[in-house]
Amino acid sequence: MIVIENIGSSYRGAFNVQIRDEIPAGLSYHGNLAIVDGTGAVLTYTKPDQTTATAADFFSASGVMIADPGATAASGIDGVNGGAIDGYSATSGRNIAVITFDAVVEASAYSTLANNGGLITNKAVIEDYANSENSGVNTFLPGVQSISETASLSLRTGEVKKAIVSSSELSTTSNNVAIGEIIRYRLQVDIPEGVLNNFELIDVLPAGLSFLNDGSAKLALAGTNANTFSWNLTNNPIANFFIPGNGDNSSILPTQAVPAPALSNNSKTLTWALGDLVNLDRDNSITESVILEFNALVDNISATKKGTTLENSGQFNFNGIRSQFNKVTATVVEPQFEITKTVVPSSGSDAGDLLNYKVVLKNLGNSVAFNLQVEDALGNLGANFDLQSVAIDSQPALANASISSSITNAASAATGDRVQLLADQLQPNESITFNYSGVLLAALQPGSKLTNEALIRYTSLPGERGSITNPTGSSTPGVSGANNGERNGSGDSTAPNNY
């Protein structure tokens, strides 16, 4: 809408009002040009030379001229209200011209935005006007002078949605993840209508996450029908990726494998180039989406530890228009053990006495520990101690703890006696209690001090490579202790394998 107001006080009004409009690239005229005054009365127009004009002339370099007189008939010999637009009135509306027309955003409009600050700007121009009907006489805008005003619109560029779809381990909940676990990420972009040249999906992984290039990345295009979309990736027919839309498309699960992304920034920036993507739909109530799902591994590196936040970011890029990042965060969780060991009696014993040991293992961490192995080689008890019995006092049901190779036929700890306990898992805040007893041997010297300690090792995932069957479609690729595997205790107290 263009509004021209005559704020001058001439009783004749404004004559020879010459106006035009500049339709920018990305917009096209779609009919219904109307020029009326403030009361709604029609104002007729001609070409500036007073020959017949069409709507197209309004958008030409010379524009059109509103005919004199306007909707108000001239009166008296001095031509009161003889101009196209009456003199100023606070109430009549006759001193105002209102111009309206329809315009359509062209499919190619997005190609113009990068060079125009992201806006499509329309410009209206008053080329000239006068205080009498004599063409070229008493003009108020001689030569190249003009009055102009602009109106800008911004186009919908799309919406980015990031989410964690699933992970490989049932033992973690919400967005918590264990070392070596696989996270399945979703990047959904609700795209606008039009030609989206050089369309890219871009995802940035933090240190501690690695893209799994194992064919598990999938892509879908969701909308009204496959004919809604086109692109220039000739080796990947768009029909293979199309899935009928469903509301906001959040329930759509992509099933078609997508070619591997380009990797940059030490393989932390993933770019899927989808070429020139065209969305031909013109129903604004329908959501069209590009949906990508892919897997990333929680790396077994020293920097990845309990409490580490892993922030994954996604965005899109087309026609030089780059969206803001949308982010989703996962938090690393780990087991942490406390071992309490007591002996009765703790003093005053001598050869032939029975010592009773009690060991309590408790998981103080915020993640399940798997593949537990407790070893007590009975330390410097050595030739002074003969192991007699080992028993489990208490354990949670899922621990499935057992005593393995605990009592040997050896004469003493020095020749092979040891305690070994194995358990499948231990949940946070759960504990296993076991005991063992043995006899002090005659070789024990009076005043001897006997010390021994138990050592526990465990892993961050079940089995050797985590849960092989899981919702992500991938399994942990590396062997236990590798940077792309689960965390274990092979490094003793040295990170990262310090379990």
pLDDT single digits (tens) 479-491: 999 999 999 999 9
- Identify the three-state secondary structure at position 415: helix
Exposed/middle/buried for residue 490 (C-beta within 10 Å: 0-12, 13-18, 19+): middle
Q: What is the pLDDT of residues 298-333, one digit of tens each?
A: 999 999 999 999 999 999 999 888 899 999 999 999
The residues near 293 (Cβ < 8 Å, ≥ 6 apart) are 165, 184, 185, 186, 187, 217, 218, 253, 254
Given this model, what pLDDT does residue 274 score?
94
List the beta strands (DSSP E) in 212-353.
218-223, 229-230, 242-244, 256-257, 262-264, 269-273, 277-279, 289-298, 309-318, 321-322, 326-332, 337-344
Residue 16 CB-half CA count within 13 A: 19
Letter for the amino acid at 317? N
In which element (H, E) is residue 55 found? helix 55-58
**Residue 435 token pair:** 């005991």
Where would I find the H helices in 68-174?
110-113
Residue of higher predicted confidence among 204 and 341: 204
The overall average pLDDT reported for the chain is 91
For residue 13, the tally of other CB atoms under 10 A from its CB is: 27
Identify the residue with better confidence: 219 or 111: 219
- CA dist., res. 476 & res. 486, Å (int): 8
Confidence at residue 67, expressed as pLDDT on a 0 to 100 scale: 93
Per-residue pLDDT at 77? 58
- Comparing CA positions, the residue from 96, 102, 86 lying closest to residue 34 is 102
First CA to last CA across the chain, in angstroms? Answer: 71
Q: Which two tokens stand for residue 24?
A: 């920018």
pLDDT of residue 422 exceeding 70: yes
SS3 177: strand
- In 339-364, which positions are buried (b, 16+ CB within 10 angstroms) versus exposed (e)? eeeebeeeeebeeeeebebebbbbbe
Distance of CA 396 to the CA centre of its chain: 39
pTM score of the predicted model: 0.84
Instruction: Please give the C-alpha separations between residue 240 and each of 134, 194, 220, 294, 316, in angstroms, as whole numbers.
Output: 68, 21, 8, 18, 22
Query: How confident is the model at residue 492, as a pLDDT?
Result: 85
Count, residues in the chain:
499
pLDDT tens digits for range 152-189: 998 888 999 999 999 999 999 999 999 999 999 999 99
* Tens digit of each residue's pLDDT (9 = 90 or more) over 378-395: 876 777 788 888 999 999
User: For residue 113, is pLDDT > 80?
Assistant: no
Q: CA angle 452-458-463, nearest 5°?
A: 145
At residue 222, the 3 state secondary structure works out as: strand
Tokens at 342, concatenated: 């007591």
30 contacts: CB under 8 Å, gap ≥ 6: 101, 102, 103, 104
Say if residues 305 and 180 touch (Cβ distance below 8 Å).
no
Q: In what order do the strands lie in the sheet with 455-459?
A: 402-403, 419-426, 369-376, 455-459
